[in-house]
Structure 1
Amino acid sequence: MRIIIIGAGEVGSNIAEGLADDHDVVVVDTDSERIESLTYSLDVLAIEGDGTTRSTLEEAGVEEADMVIASTDRDETNIVVCGAAKTLDDPFTISRVKDTTLLRTWEHAEGAFGVDFMVCTNLHTAQTIVKIASLPGAHDVDTFGGGLVQMAEFEVESDSPIAGETVAEADRYESLTFAALFRNGDVVIPTGETVIEPNDAIVVIGSSESVRGFASSLTPAPTLEDANEIVIVGGSEIGYQTARIFEEEGLSPRLIEQNHERARELAERLPNTLVLESDATDIDFLVREHVDESDIVVAALDSDEKNLLVSLLAKRIGVERTIGIVEYGEYVDLFETVGIDVAVNPRLVTSEEITRFTRARRTENVAMLESDRAEVLEIEVDQDSLLCGNRIRDVISKLPDGVVIGAITRDDELITPRGETVVDAGDHVVVFVETDVLGDVSDAL
C-alpha cells in the first residue's frame, strides 16, 4: 500500500516508522532538517514541500496513493491536506486534529472536510488516561472480543509479590495468559519456568475479572470502580475531556483550575465535577483540600514541568497514583523514573492510534505495545486461516518465534487457550505478536 504522510514531526515520524516495513511510505514536510533526518533513519521517500499544494501532492504521487495521513500540528492544515488530496484522486484520508468541536462536526456529516477518518488528540489522550486509571498499576490497557477480553501491561517493581516467581507460580487466575515480558529492551515469550524479574514489564491477556484480580495482587491501589476520590489538575481541553469521561463512568471527580473564567466555564459544563479555583502547585492548598486522600491525581497542566511538579507534590503528601501529561516524548521515561506513575504523551498515543487504524483495516482490533515493539491483534478466523480446525499446539509450531495465542471468544463466551484447544471458523482469536514477525503471522492467520 502506498501511504503519504504530511508532517514529519513526532506524530508523523512515529507513524512512518510503524508503517515503513510493510508499505511504500512517502513523508512530506516543509522543514528541511526533518526531511534530511528521515532520509537517513527510515526506509521512506522524504520530500520537502507544502502538503497543502497540488504540486507537492502530485510530486508525492497522490494519484497512486491508497492513503493520505495529515499529521501536522495545525488542525486547519490537516483538513486542507485531506480536502486537496480528494480533489486530485480518491485516497483514504486520515486527519489528526486537537479541537474536539471539529471531530463532532465531522462525526455528524460523513466525509466532511474530505476526511475519511479523524483522530482527535485531546479526546484520545483523555480516553487513554481513563483506560489506564481503570486498572491499578497498569501502563497500558485495551479490550478485545466485544469486551470479553482485556489486555494489560504492568511494570514489576522490586517489591512486587511476583518478583522472583516463575510464571507458573504467578499464574493464579483461571482465565489469564501471560503473553510476554519486556526485559532490557528484549521481548521474552515466557514458559511456565520463566522467572519474573524486577523491572520487567509483563503483558497479560484474559477475562476482565482475571486481569483486575491480577492487578490487585500487584498493588493495593483501588480499581476505578472502587476509587473514592479522583483529582484532575488543570482545566485544559485534555483535563476537561478526562473529567467528562469520568462522569460518564458514574464518577464525580474534582478539577483544579487557576484561571477564574476557565474555572467558571468548566463548572457549568461539568455538572458532576467539583471545580476548585486555585493554584495546584500550592502544597498548603492541596493539604487543606485533602488531596492527599485521593486515589488518583491526573496532572493536565500546560507544561511538562508543571505536571511533574504537581505529581511530585501529590506523591509527597501521600497520593496513591499519579498520571501526568508529557508533551515531549523524550521525557516520558525520565518522568516515570522520578515522579509520575504513568506518563501519557499525546503525540505518541495519537500516532499509535493512526498506525493501529491502518493495520486494523485487516483485523478486528489492534493494540500496540512498547512503542510498537509488539502488537496484540484480534483476528476473526476464516476457512483459509492456519488456525482453522487445528490445535493451538500444532499451529504455534508452524509460526515464527514471538507469537502467543492469548484468548479466544466463541459465541460470546471466552475460551482460555491451551495447547490442545481446537480453533473453529468464526472464532475471534487475540494474539500477541512481535512486530518483527507481524507480516508473516498476519498472512498465516
Structure 2
Amino acid sequence: MSRVRIVIIGAGEVGSTTAESLCGEHEVVVVDRDPERVETLTYELDVLPIEGDASEIETLEEADVGDADLFIASTDDDETNIIACGIAKVCGDVFTIARTKSPKYLRPWERDERAFGVDFMVCTDLLAAKAIAGVTGLPSAQDVDTFAEGLVQMTEFEIPSDSPVADQTVAEADRFDSLTFAGVIRDGDVIIPRGGTVLKAGDDVIAIGSPESMRAFSHAIAPDSDDPKSVVIVGGGQIGYQTARLLEEGGFSPRLIEGDDDHARWLAEQLPRTTVINGDATDQDLLSQERVGDADVLISALETDQQNLLVTLLGSRLGAKRSIAVVETADFVDLFETVGVDVAVSPRNVTAEEITRFTRTRRAENVAIIEGDQAEVLEFEVDADSILVDRTIGESAADFPEGAVIGAIARGGSHITPRGDTVVRERDHVIVFADTDSFEEVADRM
C-alpha cells in the first residue's frame, strides 16, 4: 500500500493504537473532542491532531477529509462512528471504516454493505469473542488465525516452564510433518528460528501449519493437557453470549453464569447447547457449588476488569485448568497475565489490530498481526511476476529478507509444508511470517 492520507476519529485506545501502527507509513490525521488527548498525540505520535466533534461536518472539513483516502471512525460511541462515516462520504470519495461495539449494527451492514455509508465495519465484541473461542480449544495457545480458507493455521504458543519442549532445539522439537516454526518472540525481540535455535520457557513460538499439526504441537508442549471439554463462561453480555454461540458452533456445550434473571432466561432461549446458570459469579460459594474448579477452561467476560481478575483467580484457586479474561483497559493485559491469568483478551486491542490488518490486506490476501505489530503473517497468491514462481524455496532464499520465512503453501485445496526443494507454482497461496522490518519488502516482492 503506497503512502496515503488517513483520517482517524477518536483518540482513545483503539484510535491511538491504530494511528501508531499506521503513521510510520502514511499521513495520518487524528480528530478527538478531548483537548488532553489531542495534546498527548501532539507529543507522542507523528500525526496531525485536530480538536473537534467528528459528528459535525465543519470538523471533518477542517481535517480535509474530502482529500483523504481512508476514514476510520473509532470512538467509543457506535452512533457517532456511523454518522461520521456518512458525513465523510458527503465530503468526498473516501473509503470508510466504522468501529461498533454492538453487533446490532453489524447485522444490517452484513446484509447490505451499502448500509450506513460504511465500506467496512468491525465489531469490537464479536472480534473479542472470536479471539477467545479461537484459543479455547488449544492448550497453551495465546492467539490463533486461519489462512487459505482454513487449510492453514497460525498459532502463537507460550512454552510453559515445565514443558518437555523447553530447552530443546527447533530441530529436536520439530517432529510434525505439516508444521513450520516461523518465529520466536523472546523478551520483546523477534527471532527467526533455525534448526539449532533453543526454545526456552516463556518464549512465544509462532507456528504455521495444518490445524491437525497445531493440535499435536499443543499437546507436545503440554502433554498432560487433554482437549478441553468442560468450558465455563462467566458473564452473559455481548462478549459472553457471542463466545458461547461460537463455541456451540465448534461442538462445545459450555456452561454460562449470568447474574440478571431476565437476561439469563433470554440466554437460555438463544443458546440451545449451553447450560445457563443464574447467579453471582463473584460469589466463591456459587463457583464451588457449580464445580467451576472442574472446568478445563474458565472464561470471564464480566463488565469490569476487577471482576474478571477476581473470577479468574478464584476459579484457578478452585482448580480450573486454564483461565481467559476479558480486559477492557489494554494497559492491564500484561498485568493480568503476570498475576496468573493464562490469556488476557483486550477487545480494544483486537479491534485496532483488525483495522490495521484490513488496511494491509490491500496487498495481501490475509494478514495476522503479532505481538502489537512486532511481526505479521501474510497470505499472498503467487502471480507470474512473483520472485517465487517456478523456483525452489532454496533458490528464492537469496531474494528474501532475513527477517521473513515461508511457513506454509496451499495448492488446489491441499496443504504443503515448505522445504528447501519445494517448487512454488503460480496461483499457490503462500503464507509468510515477517518481522516488522521485513514485511514491506516481502509485500513488494510478492
**Counterpart of 2:413?**
412
Structure 1 stretch 101-110 or stretch 300-309: which is displaced more? Answer: 101-110
Once the two structures are TM-superposed, the CA of residue 265 in structure 1 deviates from its matched residue by: 1.9
Which of 73, 76, 81 pairs up with 1:78?
A: 81
Q: Is the 8 A contact 1:221 1:295 kept in 2?
A: no
Once the two structures are TM-superposed, the CA of residue 419 in structure 1 deviates from its matched residue by: 1.6
Structure 1 stretch 237-246 or stretch 31-40: which is displaced more? Answer: 31-40
- Is 2:437 the partner of 1:436? yes
**Counterpart of 2:93?**
90
Where 2:149 maps in the other structure, the secondary structure is helix
**Counterpart of 1:175?**
178
Distance in 2 (alpha carbons) for counterparts of 1:221 and 1:157: 12
Gaps of 5+ in 2: none
Once the two structures are TM-superposed, the CA of residue 130 in structure 1 deviates from its matched residue by: 0.3
- Is 2:264 the partner of 1:243? no
The root-mean-square deviation of aligned C-alpha atoms, in Å, is 1.3
Distance in 2 (alpha carbons) for counterparts of 1:349 and 1:359: 15
Q: Is the 8 A contact 2:382 2:426 kept in 1?
A: yes
After superposition, the C-alpha distances for 1:401-436 in whole angstroms (9 at most, x for unaligned) are: 210100011111111111222211111000001122
Q: Percent identity?
A: 58
Residue type of the alignment partner of 1:143: T
Residue type of the alignment partner of 2:238: E
Q: Is the 8 A contact 2:137 2:228 kept in 1?
A: no
Residue type of the alignment partner of 1:8: A
- Is 2:315 the partner of 1:311? no
- Is 2:51 the partner of 1:48? yes
5 Å-filtered alignment, 1:317-332, equals: 317-332=318-333
**Structure 1 residues 221 and 135: CA distance shift in structure 2, 3 A:** farther
Where 1:68 maps in the other structure, the secondary structure is strand
Q: Is the 8 A contact 2:19 2:28 kept in 1?
A: yes
Distance in 2 (alpha carbons) for counterparts of 1:219 and 1:236: 32
5 Å-filtered alignment, 1:216-231, equals: 216-220=219-223, 226-231=227-232
Once the two structures are TM-superposed, the CA of residue 179 in structure 1 deviates from its matched residue by: 0.5
Where 1:279 maps in the other structure, the secondary structure is coil
Residue type of the alignment partner of 2:438: V
Distance in 1 (alpha carbons) for counterparts of 2:441 and 2:118: 31
After superposition, the C-alpha distances for 1:371-397 in whole angstroms (9 at most, x for unaligned) are: 110000000011111111222123222
Q: Is the 8 A contact 1:221 1:321 kept in 2?
A: no
After superposition, the C-alpha distances for 1:347-393 in whole angstroms (9 at most, x for unaligned) are: 00011011101111221110000011000000001111111122212
- Is 2:225 the partner of 1:213? no
Q: Is the 8 A contact 2:60 2:88 kept in 1?
A: yes
Distance in 2 (alpha carbons) for counterparts of 1:108 and 1:207: 32
Once the two structures are TM-superposed, the CA of residue 221 in structure 1 deviates from its matched residue by: 6.5
Structure 1 stretch 307-316 or stretch 15-24: which is displaced more? Answer: 15-24
**Counterpart of 1:265?**
266
Distance in 2 (alpha carbons) for counterparts of 1:109 and 1:145: 25
Residue type of the alignment partner of 2:357: R
Where 1:173 maps in the other structure, the secondary structure is coil
Once the two structures are TM-superposed, the CA of residue 297 in structure 1 deviates from its matched residue by: 0.9
After superposition, the C-alpha distances for 1:202-243 in whole angstroms (9 at most, x for unaligned) are: 1110111111100011124756xx432111001111111111
Where 2:215 maps in the other structure, the secondary structure is helix
5 Å-filtered alignment, 1:17-416, equals: 17-220=20-223, 226-416=227-417
Distance in 2 (alpha carbons) for counterparts of 1:372 and 1:349: 12
Q: Is the 8 A contact 1:406 1:417 kept in 2?
A: yes
After superposition, the C-alpha distances for 1:104-134 in whole angstroms (9 at most, x for unaligned) are: 1212223111111111111111111101112
Structure 1 stretch 71-80 or stretch 57-66: which is displaced more? Answer: 57-66
Q: Is the 8 A contact 1:243 1:253 kept in 2?
A: yes
Residue type of the alignment partner of 2:268: A
Structure 1 stretch 151-160 or stretch 391-400: which is displaced more? Answer: 391-400
After superposition, the C-alpha distances for 1:227-265 in whole angstroms (9 at most, x for unaligned) are: 321110011111111111112223221110112122122
Q: Is the 8 A contact 2:9 2:74 kept in 1?
A: yes
After superposition, the C-alpha distances for 1:57-78 in whole angstroms (9 at most, x for unaligned) are: 1222212111100000000000
Residue type of the alignment partner of 1:149: V
Where 2:157 maps in the other structure, the secondary structure is strand
**Counterpart of 1:424?**
425
Gaps of 5+ in 1: none
Distance in 2 (alpha carbons) for counterparts of 1:169 and 1:96: 44
Distance in 1 (alpha carbons) for counterparts of 2:396 and 2:47: 34
**Structure 1 residues 312 and 102: CA distance shift in structure 2, 3 A:** same
